[in-house]
Amino acid sequence: MPSRHAITTGCVLTITVLTLTAAPAVAQARTAEAQAVAAARKPPPGMIEALQRDLGLTREEAETRLRNEARMTPIEERLRGQLGSRFGGAWFAGSVAQTLVVATTSPADIALIVAAGARAEIVTRSLSDLQAVKKHIDQALPTRQETGSVRYIDTKINKVVVLSTAVTTTTNILENAGVDPVAVRVVSSDEQPRPLGDVVGGEAYYIGSASRCSVGFSVTRGAQKGFVSAGHCGKVGATTTGVNRAAQGVFEGSSFPGSDYAWVAVNGDWTPKPLVKNGSGGTVTVAGSRVAVEGASVCRSGSTTGWHCGTIQQRDTSVTYPQGTVSEVTRTTVCAEPGDSGGSFIAIDQAQGVTSGGSGDCTSGGVTYFQPIGEILATYGLTLVTDATTPPGTSTPPGTSTPPGTGTPPGTGTPPGTGTCTGYPQSVTGTLKSGQSVYQPNNRYYRSTVTGVHAGCLDANDGVDFDLYLQKWNGRNWSVVATADSPSPDEKISYTGTPGYYRYRVVSANGSSPYTLKYKAP
């Protein structure tokens, strides 16, 4: 069996939930892989600088790391599905995430993993096996911090790790409970978790007159608008005021301990935006909620310490605070401090979760945990507000509302000639300035009821760089299924797709011009 990474023992840490008390009053064609790589080439403002500072990288190394993560994340998703019950976990290795390691319980999978562009590792226990072991451990250990303040699955060593200040006592409890001793490692640690105390992720909000937390992500439920945050920040019915101390909203749902998430419904004076503050006076646009791979870069925004980055360490972690245990949080190397609770965790432009608690601070460094966004949305029936948001509570694509940042509406300007775009029955026209984009047809979508070829042809004036993307509705989000982004004004897409809802996104990467988009559906 390949050698494993050792876990450092004797850690001296203090984990805290990050609520601030007594706060001051002011405070086929190329697919989705290509789209992800393109996003990594142009990361949000401030992300490269934060990765340089927090991971000790050069600018070139930070840029390379993001490109590698974007390129290999879809590979991990495919292999996870193909391996099924044999999947043992996956993680990025190397300072610039140059290697994707995928674990399996079957040597017969090695060829498949290598052919996909990853490194194979054979393990004894599958991820589902480890999840069962961890569940057994969570049930066996008392809710006392000294017998296991933190429990998580470490896929790199193929074991469940328990951090404890009383190693012998904890080991005996687990043995008496019948936990497989080979599948668990008890590590000496002094971690003692305790609580710390437009809508834009990372901004401050206040609960009553004494506590401050941070906005996670903007959401909607039906016609109601709001945001998600940490559950320990407030109970159901608690009222909130915004960063400007104006009346803001009320906690409609809250869970803590057990989980650590909540959602706040805001009044009509607040408009949720698909944005997260990046700490340099700018914002990062939220495009979706794709789950990042272990080892991937991730950044956090909070109202106390602003914008900090690190890497994702382990998922499905259990953390015991004095108030009780919180399960299924994700462990990271990002720092945080009181008041950062509830703030946004984001990987490039993909929402990951909301800040729960952490150890250390942003001077000496530390460990921080976040509650994954997917569980929050599912629990409360919420829809994440993104740069192409769909009306919540529906499984069909959006209607007539225009997504933010879509540029000049279609039907303006004088379209260029059709060039080689012949034989396409549908046609739309418009004008875009440099950096703008628009969804077609007419900021809506079209429906295909059969499997077949979707073909699009874009024609703009010479001297500009226009790109074309085909997106399909997956029931929760729009995902890019085909891309044409050469450095020319004209683009073509041909994609064989199953029945569903589709739309095109026309983007001006450089230059202003009228355009004509012709397309046909099966």
Residues 482-498 pLDDT 10s: 888 888 888 999 988 88
Helices (H), 294-360: none
Residues 6+ apart with CB under 8 A from 33: 70, 71, 74, 75
Q: What is the CATH number of the domain that holds 230?
A: 2.40.10.10
One domain for residues 369 and 226: yes
One domain for residues 229 and 348: yes
Predicted confidence at residue 423, as pLDDT, reads 85
One domain for residues 357 and 436: no
Catalytic residue list contains 341 = yes
* Average pLDDT estimate for 185-204: 74
pLDDT at 27 over 60: no
Round to whole Å and give the CA distance between 84 and 271.
41
**Strands 87-93 and 383-384: what pairing?**
unpaired
One domain for residues 327 and 443: no
Round to whole Å and give the CA distance between 259 and 475.
26
371 belongs to a structural domain: yes
282 belongs to a structural domain: yes
248 belongs to a structural domain: yes
Tell me if 225 sits within 8 A of 266, measured CB to CB: yes
Last residue of one domain, picked from the residues 384, 416, 447:
384
- Structure token digits, residue 478: 């729009």
Q: How many domains does the chain have?
A: 2
351 belongs to a structural domain: yes
* Average pLDDT estimate for 420-448: 85
Q: How far apart are the first and last CA of the chain?
A: 51
One domain for residues 359 and 433: no
Catalytic residue among 232, 255, 297, 344: 232
One domain for residues 272 and 361: yes
| pLDDT tens, position by position, 33-78 | 444 444 444 677 788 999 999 999 999 999 999 999 999 999 999 9
Predicted confidence at residue 141, as pLDDT, reads 85
- Structure token digits, residue 307: 């914008």
Catalytic residue among 189, 229, 341, 508: 341
**Strands 99-104 and 119-122: what pairing?**
parallel
One domain for residues 378 and 509: no
Round to whole Å and give the CA distance between 469 and 506.
7
Task: Name the band, by pLDDT with cuts 50, 70 and 90, for residue 20.
Answer: low
Task: Name the band, by pLDDT with cuts 50, 70 and 90, for residue 100.
Answer: very high
The CA-atom distances, in angstroms, between 36 and each of 73, 206, 438, 446 are 9, 36, 19, 24
222 belongs to a structural domain: yes
164 belongs to a structural domain: no
One domain for residues 201 and 319: yes
3 state DSSP class of 265: strand
336 belongs to a structural domain: yes
pLDDT at 292 over 80: yes
One domain for residues 223 and 328: yes
CA angle 47, 53, 56 (to 5 degrees): 115
One domain for residues 445 and 501: yes
Task: Name the band, by pLDDT with cuts 50, 70 and 90, for residue 410.
Answer: very low
- Structure token digits, residue 354: 């909301």
Query: Which residues face 93 on adjacent strands?
Result: 99
One domain for residues 343 and 455: no
In DSSP notation, 113-139 reads HHHTT-EEEE-SS-HHHHHHHHHHHHH
Predicted confidence at residue 45, as pLDDT, reads 73
Query: Which residues face 297 on adjacent strands?
Result: 311
| pLDDT tens, position by position, 217-270 | 999 998 899 999 999 999 999 999 998 888 999 999 999 999 999 999 999 889
148 belongs to a structural domain: no
Catalytic residue list contains 95 = no
3 state DSSP class of 58: coil
Last residue of one domain, picked from the residues 356, 384, 412:
384
* Average pLDDT estimate for 362-381: 92
Round to whole Å and give the CA distance between 46 and 471.
28
For residue 423, the 8-state DSSP code is S
The CA-atom distances, in angstroms, between 419 and each of 345, 430, 443, 462, 467 are 45, 16, 24, 11, 16
Burial 372-396 (b: 16+ CB within 10 A, else e): bbeebbeebebbbbbbbbbebeeee
One domain for residues 258 and 366: yes
Last residue of one domain, picked from the residues 384, 405, 439:
384
Catalytic residue among 154, 260, 349, 387: 260
Provide the domain limits for residue 505.
Answer: 426-520
Q: What is the CATH number of the domain that holds 507?
A: 2.60.120.380
